[in-house]
Structure 1
Amino acid sequence: MIDQEKTTLDRLPLFNGTSQHESFSSFKEILPTSRMPQSAVPCEFPDGEPISLPPTYEFGGATRSLEGFLSDTDTAALLVLKDGVVRYERYALTGGRNVQWISWSVSKSFVSALVGIAIAEGHIRSVDDAISDYVPVPTGSAYDGVRIKEVLQMSSGARWNEDYHDSSSDVFRLGAAMSDVGTLDAFVAGMVSESRPGTVCRYNSGDTQALGALVVHATKRSLTDYMKERLYEPLGMTSPGYWLIDSVGMEMAFAGLNLTARDFAKLGELYRKDGVWKGKQLVPKAWVKASITPDALHLMPGMPILADHTLPLGYGYQWWIPDGNRNEFSAIGIYNQFVYVDPSRGVVIVKLSSNHAYGTTMTEETNREIETIECLRAISQQFD
C-alpha cells in the first residue's frame, strides 16, 4: 500500500535547532510512505518487575543527571528489555507505545539484515560479489566493481559528505532526491569514487541506499514486501510499519523506516539471540556475528569518519560497535535514535528522541551520541 499525495522530505526544517517531536511521530501522515501491516500473529514482550533508572551516569570526567540528559535530548521513548522481558518503559512528548517513530539511520541495520537473508536464500551469491553485478550503475561510477562487503562496512570509497550542518552536503542532496524531480536510484548511480574500496570507513548514507537497491534487484521485491515477509511477519510486529518512499516508490533505505519502540526492540532482541526468534533462524548466525565484528584496521574504534572527524566507535555491517570488552553493538540514528544491545547482560534498550540541538553543529556537544552510549551503559549496569 503506497500513499504519495503528501509533502517531501527536503521541505521539512531539519538541523536548525527547532523542536522536531511533532513531525517525528507523524511522518506517515506528512510524507509519502509504503505500509507493512502488523503481523498476523503479534508477539508482545512480557512485562517483568519494573526497575528504576540510575540517577546519574559518568561522561567526560563528570557525573551527570540521567533524567536531565533524557529531557535535554527530547526523549520520546525509553524501553529496557532484560532477557526479552520489559523492565522499564516510558513515553514523553509525542511518543507512545503505539506511535510509529522515524528511525533515521537505525533503518540501516534492518537493511543489513535483509541483505543477509537474501544471501541465505540464494538471491545474492556472496558479500564478495560486486554490487554492480546486481544494481545497474554506470561504468566507472562509485559502485562499479565494488564488493558488497565494502558497501556494508561503509568502505565503498565513494566520495561523500555526511555533514548535517551543511545544507549543501551529499546527505542533504540525497534527501532532496526524495522529491518529484529525482529518484534515489538515480542519485546512487550518479555517485563517484574518492578512495580505494576497503581502505577507509567513511560514514555514507549513499552506501545504504545502494544496499537497498541491491535487495530490490536481487530479490525482485520491494524492500517493503521483502521485509514484511522475512522480518515483519515472523517477528510478530504488533503495529503497522511504514517506509518513506521517493516519487517512484523506492524506499528511503538509509533512514526511512517508522516503527514503534517495541517493534524496533525486536531487531535488537533478534541479534542478541544470534538471529534466532522463537526457535527459528531468521538471520544466519554467521551473518549476525560478521555484522557486529569490525574485521579490519579501518573499521576499529577511532577509525570511522563522519563528515570531518573520526568517531570512537567501530563499524560492522551497518552496526556501530562501542569500544570496550562487553561485545556491545548498536543501531544509531540522527537525533539520538538507538537500538543498543549488551549481550553480556541480556539487555536491549531502545531510545527514540528528537534532540533539537542535533546537527546544529557536528560536535559531540550538540549531537551527544557517545554520551548516549554511556547513559545506556549505566542503565544496563543495573543488571550486574
Structure 2
Amino acid sequence: MRTIGKWLGRILLMLILAAAVMYVWKREEIHRLMAVNSLFSEDKIVHNFSNMNQAFLTRDVARGDGPVSALPQGPNADMPSRFADWVEQRSVTGVVVLKDGQMVHETYYQGTSPEDQRISWSVAKSYLSALFGVVLAEGHIESLDDPVTKYAPSLAGTAYDAATIRNVLQMSSGVTFDEDYLDFNSDINRMGRVIALGGTMDSFAEGLSETFIVPGAQWKYVSIDTHILGMVIRGATGRDIASLLSEKIIQPLGYEASPYYITDGVGVAFVLGGLNIRTRDYARFGQMFLQNGMYGGQQIVPADWVAASTVPSAKTAEGKLHYGYQWWMPKDVRDGEFFGIGVYGQYVYINRPLGIVIAVNSADRQFKQDGVSDSNIAMFRQISESLQ
C-alpha cells in the first residue's frame, strides 16, 4: 500500500509540474482565452471595451507625424429631453456630435474619458469599405464582379468559391455562418477563440465549407465576409491592412492618436471588428463621409464610392434595416442618412441633409433586444432635428 501511495504521489506531482510548465508555456494564450470568456461580463465590459490591448495581440495603425486635424468647437447644444434616460438605458460611454463640422456636444460616462481608445466592433467594417473604395480606384482590383478567388486563391474549393466581391461587400455571400453571440459553439464565438489562442483568421475562413443559398440571392449578415474583403485587398495589393489603412485613411484624417487593430496569431488585422479608436476620431471619419469623401481639402475616399456604398443595394428582408457596401441605412430610407453599427452599441451616424455626425460608444449588454436599434436611430434623428 505504501508503494502504491508513493507512486500515486509521484504521478500527482508530475501532473502538477506538467500543468505548471503548460501554464508558463501557454500563459499568454490562456490569459487571452480567459479574457474572451469574461469580455462582456457586467463588471468588466466598460473597462474591457477601452482596454482591448491589455487582453489581445494588437498592431498600431500609425497616425503619422502630421498635425491633428481641426475639430472646431461650436456652440454647446442642448440634447433632447430623453437623452439622459437613453444614455443610462443603453449604457453609453461616449458621445460626440458634430454640426456642420463643428463639435457641439461631447460627453463621457462610466469613468471613461476622451483619451479612451474604444473598440469599434463592426463599425470597423465601414472603415474597411472606405479602404476598399480607395484600392479599387487605384486599379488594384479590376471589378466588383470578379470572384474573390481571383485575389484570394486560397479560398478556391471553400464556401466562398463562387462568391464575387460584390456579393461579399453586400453580405450576400450565401455562406453558412452562425452569428449568435450567446451560443458558446457559434461560428462567431469559435472565431473569437481562434483570435484568443493565436490562430489564424485566414485558416478559419478557409475552413468554411457550407453555403445555404447561391451567392447574391439573399442578404444575410455574415461577419466573416469582411475578413474575405481583407484577404482580397491583401492579395490585390501585396500589403497588410494596418499599413494601408494608416496611409490611405487615418493619416489624411489627422487623428489625435494612432488607432490599433486586434490581430490574429500571425499579425493579420481583425478587420471585421478589431479597430480601437477615440470617439472624436470616429466622428472625424463620419465627417469625411458626410463630405462625400473629402476632408481637410483632400479627396480621401472617391466620391463615387461613398455614394455607391451608402445606399441600399443588398437584398435585405422587408421591414429590416437596409444595407450597402458594409454600411447601413434606416428601414425608412432617407437620402443621405446612413450609419456604421457595432455590437453593444457602437455607431457612426451620418445625416448629410442636416449636416450631422454622431459618434457613439457603448457597453450595452441588451443591444440585441427588440426595438433597441430602432430607439437608437430615433434618438439620433431627434438630436439631428433639434439642432436645426
Aligned CA distance change for structure 1 residues 380 and 276 (closer, same or farther; 3 Å): same
- Summarize deviations over 1:65-111 as a string: whole Å, max 9, x none: x2112112221111000111000000112422111000000000001
Alpha carbons 2:349, 2:358 under 8 Å: kept: yes
- Summarize deviations over 1:305-359 as a string: whole Å, max 9, x none: xxxxxxx21000000101233431000000000000001100000110001334x
Q: Which residue of 1 aligns with 2:52?
A: 27
* 1:96-135 → structure 2 map (5 Å cutoff): 96-135=113-152
Q: Which residue of 2 aligns with 1:211?
A: 229
Q: Which residue of 1 aligns with 2:264?
A: 246
Q: How many residues align?
A: 357
What CA distance in whole angstroms lies between the structure 1 residues aligned with 2:233 and 2:298?
A: 22
Q: Which residue of 2 aligns with 1:284?
A: 302
Q: Which of 266, 275, 289 is equivalent to 1:271? A: 289
Aligned CA distance change for structure 1 residues 114 and 74 (closer, same or farther; 3 Å): same
What CA distance in whole angstroms lies between the structure 1 residues aligned with 2:358 and 2:204?
A: 34
Shift of 1:10: 6.8
TM-score, normalised with respect to structure 2: 0.87
- Summarize deviations over 1:94-142 as a string: whole Å, max 9, x none: 4221110000000000011111111111111111111110113343312
* 1:77-92 → structure 2 map (5 Å cutoff): 77-92=94-109
Aligned CA distance change for structure 1 residues 82 and 242 (closer, same or farther; 3 Å): same
* 1:64-213 → structure 2 map (5 Å cutoff): 66-180=83-197, 182-192=199-209, 193-213=211-231
Between 16-25 and 256-265, the greater mean CA deviation after superposition: 16-25
Alpha carbons 1:35, 1:242 under 8 Å: kept: yes
What CA distance in whole angstroms lies between the structure 2 residues aligned with 1:157 and 1:174?
A: 18
Between 185-194 and 313-322, the greater mean CA deviation after superposition: 185-194
Alpha carbons 2:68, 2:254 under 8 Å: kept: yes
Question: Larger Cα Rg: Structure 1 or Structure 2?
Answer: 2
What CA distance in whole angstroms lies between the structure 2 residues aligned with 1:10 and 1:345?
A: 45
Shift of 1:18: 4.8
SS in 2 for 1:178: helix
Q: Which residue of 2 aligns with 1:256?
A: 274
Give the root-mean-square deviation of aligned CA atoms. 1.9
For structure 1, the 5+ residue unaligned runs are 57-65, 303-311
Q: Which residue of 2 aligns with 1:373?
A: 377
Shift of 1:163: 1.1
Shift of 1:295: 2.5
* 1:326-341 → structure 2 map (5 Å cutoff): 326-341=335-350
SS in 2 for 1:330: strand
Alpha carbons 2:39, 2:48 under 8 Å: kept: no
Higher helix share: 2
Aligned CA distance change for structure 1 residues 71 and 363 (closer, same or farther; 3 Å): closer
- Summarize deviations over 1:206-241 as a string: whole Å, max 9, x none: 101111121222111111100110011111111121
Q: Which residue of 1 aligns with 2:74?
A: 48
Q: Which residue of 2 aligns with 1:306?
A: none
What CA distance in whole angstroms lies between the structure 2 residues aligned with 1:321 and 1:11?
A: 33
Alpha carbons 1:117, 1:283 under 8 Å: kept: yes
Shift of 1:15: 4.8
Alpha carbons 1:10, 1:178 under 8 Å: kept: no
Higher strand share: 1
Between 20-29 and 317-326, the greater mean CA deviation after superposition: 317-326
SS in 2 for 1:50: coil
TM-score, normalised with respect to structure 1: 0.88
Alpha carbons 2:201, 2:264 under 8 Å: kept: yes
Aligned AA (2:292): D
What CA distance in whole angstroms lies between the structure 1 residues aligned with 2:271 and 2:74?
A: 34
Aligned AA (2:56): L
SS in 1 for 2:154: coil
Q: Which residue of 1 aligns with 2:360?
A: 351
Aligned CA distance change for structure 1 residues 301 and 77 (closer, same or farther; 3 Å): farther
Aligned CA distance change for structure 1 residues 102 and 94 (closer, same or farther; 3 Å): farther
- Summarize deviations over 1:17-54 as a string: whole Å, max 9, x none: 55510111111222210012334221131001010101
What CA distance in whole angstroms lies between the structure 2 residues aligned with 1:194 and 1:222?
A: 31
What CA distance in whole angstroms lies between the structure 2 residues aligned with 1:245 and 1:157?
A: 26
Q: Does 1:314 align with 2:322?
A: yes
What CA distance in whole angstroms lies between the structure 2 residues aligned with 1:53 and 1:215?
A: 41
Aligned-residue sequence identity (percent) comes to 35
Aligned AA (2:71): F
Alpha carbons 1:152, 1:208 under 8 Å: kept: yes
Q: Does 1:227 align with 2:235?
A: no
Aligned AA (1:343): R
